[in-house]
Structure 1
Amino acid sequence: MNLDTLVATPTPAWPGPDIQWDPSREMYRARAEALADLKLPREAAVPDGFPDRVRAAWAWDGADFAGDDYVVRLGRADVDEVERALAYYKSLSGTRTPADVCRETFPLPRLQRTLKGVANVLHLGRGFSVIRGLKPQNYSALDNVIIYLGITSYVAERRGCQDSSGNMIIHIKDLGNEVPDSDMRQSPYATNGQPFHTDVCDILAMYVQEQAQHGGESHLASGAKVYNEIAAKRPDVIHTLSDPSWIFDKIPAYWNTRALLFNYEGKGPGFCFSRRPITGSPTSPRSPGVPPMTEVQAEALDMVHFTAVDHALTMRLQRGDIQLINNLAVFHARSGFIDSPTHTRHIIRLWLRNEELAWKTPEGLQKTWFEKYGDSERRKIARWNIRPGATRERILFRSDSCS
């Protein structure tokens, strides 16, 4: 079947494996033991073209980071230059929108060398970085967006559309107190934790406007490390993950298929998936009629998550931090959090792409990447939300979600 084809399907007779969006290690171990007892034939080597082991800077263990060497600290001179660039952008004549923020309209002649280094770290190095030193409380909502777009334009200049409504910016903030009857809201607008996943972009950027009173820690894990651990012990699972038969529940009563693991040209294996379209979640149950995954796939999915957990790096971001992640090399997750009247978690998210350094998009993702970065219909209605908030449909229903 064509990977880009949406397929309608009758209701399956078997409901599928007992697997949750929020993974259970106990259930994972029980499933692994039950499958081992069946003595099913298993591949003894990774698929053709896949390496036995990734030997690259982005293959790391969380224990490798004793401190916060991944933080790039902006000094007073750097912040002054950012503020001069902001003033320059605002002085330009004509009606301007956030889409007009770029290297030419937001000049950073001194800081651009540092930011180019960050871009290299993301694409050729460990795959993540944190820029620290901004004070978002010193700027208006619009100025914070302009500063954010200006700085990140030197890291990855092309911005991705994040959902079918054309939103170029997503504000991650709990909206439970603002939207009536929204107990079952999507994760960007709730306080729950999230399991390890990737977004559908090249570079994920998160600008922290405010942190929660408690919780909300950021967890990262190297996809290459996850791959290496699984390939060494269970090469058959690499076959399962790279098979294009995984079913993604995208629109009620329809589904499409693709792999979870791709072999990026010149870079090696990289993952691209989140659990929600595969397992369903409390806020987004699987649509009736969508075929279930297999028990073998369920074991593989949980194996990826718990391998990531075992080798993760945890950080608590500070107000003003810009976290940048190579989404194709690094998984991310978050802890649940509790807000207070004085500390309400608020993060501005961008999806970015550096056309010069970007990993080559594999065939199985080209349609999705065109929707995000190409001249797609959703990009033609691009919207730039300066302040937090979202439509009720965006908050409650997956049909307008970003995954």
Structure 2
Amino acid sequence: MLHARVIPGPNIKWNPSYETYRARVESLSNMDILRPQKVPEGFPETVDAPWVWSTTDFEDDSKHIVSLNESEVVEVERALAFFKGLPGDLGPGDVSRATFPLLNLRSKLEGVAKNLHLGFGFNVIRGLAPQRYSSFENIIIYLGLTSYIAEKRGVQDSSGSMIIHVKDLGRQIAHSEMRQSPYARNAQPFHNDVCDILAMYVQEQAAEGGESYLASSAKIYNEIAATRPDVIHTLADPSWIFDKHRTPAYWNTRALLFNYTGKGPGFCFSRRPITGSPTSPRGPGVPPMTEIQAEALDMVHFTAAKHQISMRLHRGDIQLINNVAVFHARNGFQDRVSQKRHIIRLWLRNENLAWKTPEGLEKTWFEKYGDSERRKISVWNIEPGATRERVIFRSDSCS
């Protein structure tokens, strides 16, 4: 009986190596390769929009931090009490603007929504004290506040999870050294989730490390388009192979870069299904990427690193990111017994302001936000934790 083998491909890792990247750039530059001298038809030569920015644009934290004052926190707590006082056995899926009324705070939160979609693309809401509330109350507050920013919630995995608790479960799950990233403490390279708005509510920050890194997708596009328009062609080509980590081998293909109607280029990908990772090695029988694709993939990462901003989120912060306009990454971290990093993640969509989903992502977006089988079994996990299968098995991960 013949067994499938891992087909050799470029020397590229999930966590990028700058030395390997530069060597590949040099090697390919010496080859006689036909390189387009202009960006693909329909793509702009440059993006001129508020979501084009670099490191020096955010030296002042006050530009992106939206602080809740004492009276606004009181209003949030009154809305929580209103929700809890409604008749019936209401749960997280019942939270909406109608069941969590914020008459005064509404305009501030709607301003955040406009900035996420039409401005520089990210904010941090600061001022909550999650230790004052129960786990259930924190979830309700989180959903209540974000319902004024992007009310539709996406399903995050094949088990129907509407909430993911990002927390290192290494001590909780036996023999889980090779666990998936939401449940590990390793650093993560620049990527996008599979959503419109990514929300992260910090229940506790790491004892050490865990910094959040953001980078403007349009800034990355502009720099690559100006110097290497051929790479834009590579990124926008729909032949990229995404390993679905199944047996027998199964994969799908799509582009990494899309031209969003009225907004311009935006990315949507993470490296794991493309390169494989220590926890999800590339499957036997799955075709490898090309050397040209490997160059393009690492070029995006290192251009992002060049223009990144770094922020250390505090307990109670809610970080909100326009996922298609802004890349995100994470530094590795260390917990202590008395201080363990814990973040609650939501995938959100504002139907009125969302960037129009490109054709190449419509099927994926239906799975997350449409009347899909996954959404029909919606599960609201109030407490952190996950099954061993969810922590270990790569085919059940969320992106």
Question: What TM-score, normalized by structure 2, do the two folds share?
Answer: 0.98
* Offset, 1:157: 0.4
- Counterpart for residue 164 of structure 2: 170
CA contact (8 A) 2:244 2:250 kept: yes
Question: Residues 76 and 47 of structure 1: is their aligned pair in 2 closer, same or farther, counting only changes over 3 Å?
Answer: same
CA distance in 1, matches of 2:277, 2:228: 27
Q: 1:157 aligns with which of 151, 166, 169?
A: 151
Pair 1:283 & 2:279 matched: yes
SS of alignment partner, residue 30 of structure 2: helix
- Counterpart for residue 300 of structure 2: 304
CA deviations 1:219-238 (Å, max 9, x no partner) are 00000000000000000000
Q: 1:122 aligns with which of 116, 121, 125?
A: 116
Amino acid in structure 1 at the alignment position of 2:13:
Q
- Counterpart for residue 402 of structure 1: 398
Where in structure 1 are there 5+ consecutive unaligned residues? 1-9
Pair 1:89 & 2:79 matched: no
Amino acid in structure 1 at the alignment position of 2:388:
R
- Counterpart for residue 258 of structure 1: 254
SS of alignment partner, residue 208 of structure 1: strand
CA contact (8 A) 2:68 2:127 kept: yes
SS of alignment partner, residue 344 of structure 2: strand
Amino acid in structure 1 at the alignment position of 2:234:
T
CA deviations 1:174-220 (Å, max 9, x no partner) are 00000100000000000000000000000000000000110000000
CA contact (8 A) 2:6 2:283 kept: no
SS of alignment partner, residue 199 of structure 2: strand
- Counterpart for residue 210 of structure 1: 204
CA distance in 1, matches of 2:58, 2:154: 30
Q: 1:322 aligns with which of 318, 325, 344?
A: 318
CA distance in 2, matches of 1:182, 1:14: 27
SS of alignment partner, residue 123 of structure 1: helix
Q: 2:221 aligns with which of 227, 238, 255?
A: 227
* Offset, 1:39: 2.9
SS of alignment partner, residue 144 of structure 2: helix
Amino acid in structure 2 at the alignment position of 1:293:
M
Q: 2:47 aligns with which of 49, 54, 60?
A: 54
* Offset, 1:11: 4.8
CA distance in 1, matches of 2:108, 2:55: 24
Pair 1:200 & 2:191 matched: no
CA deviations 1:117-163 (Å, max 9, x no partner) are 00000000000000000000000000000000000000000000000
* Offset, 1:13: 8.2
CA distance in 2, matches of 1:11, 1:273: 26
- Counterpart for residue 19 of structure 1: 12
Question: What TM-score, normalized by structure 1, do the two folds share?
Answer: 0.97
SS of alignment partner, residue 190 of structure 2: strand
Amino acid in structure 2 at the alignment position of 1:359:
W
CA contact (8 A) 2:6 2:282 kept: no
SS of alignment partner, residue 137 of structure 2: helix
* Offset, 1:62: 1.6
CA contact (8 A) 2:245 2:280 kept: no
Q: 1:43 aligns with which of 14, 36, 55?
A: 36
* Offset, 1:12: 7.3
* Offset, 1:14: 4.8
CA deviations 1:60-90 (Å, max 9, x no partner) are 0021111111000000000000000000000
- Counterpart for residue 358 of structure 1: 354
SS of alignment partner, residue 34 of structure 2: coil
SS of alignment partner, residue 262 of structure 1: strand
CA distance in 2, matches of 1:398, 1:124: 35
- Counterpart for residue 110 of structure 1: 104
Percent identity (aligned): 71
CA contact (8 A) 2:6 2:286 kept: no
SS of alignment partner, residue 283 of structure 2: coil
SS of alignment partner, residue 364 of structure 1: helix
Amino acid in structure 2 at the alignment position of 1:351:
W
Q: Please show how residues 60-75 of structure 1 align to structure 2 within 5 Å.
A: 60-68=53-61, 69-75=63-69
Amino acid in structure 1 at the alignment position of 2:390:
R
SS of alignment partner, residue 300 of structure 1: helix
CA contact (8 A) 1:11 1:291 kept: no
SS of alignment partner, residue 141 of structure 2: helix
CA contact (8 A) 1:251 1:399 kept: yes
* Offset, 1:307: 0.1
CA contact (8 A) 2:178 2:278 kept: yes
CA deviations 1:86-114 (Å, max 9, x no partner) are 00000000111100000000000000000
Where in structure 2 are there 5+ consecutive unaligned residues? none
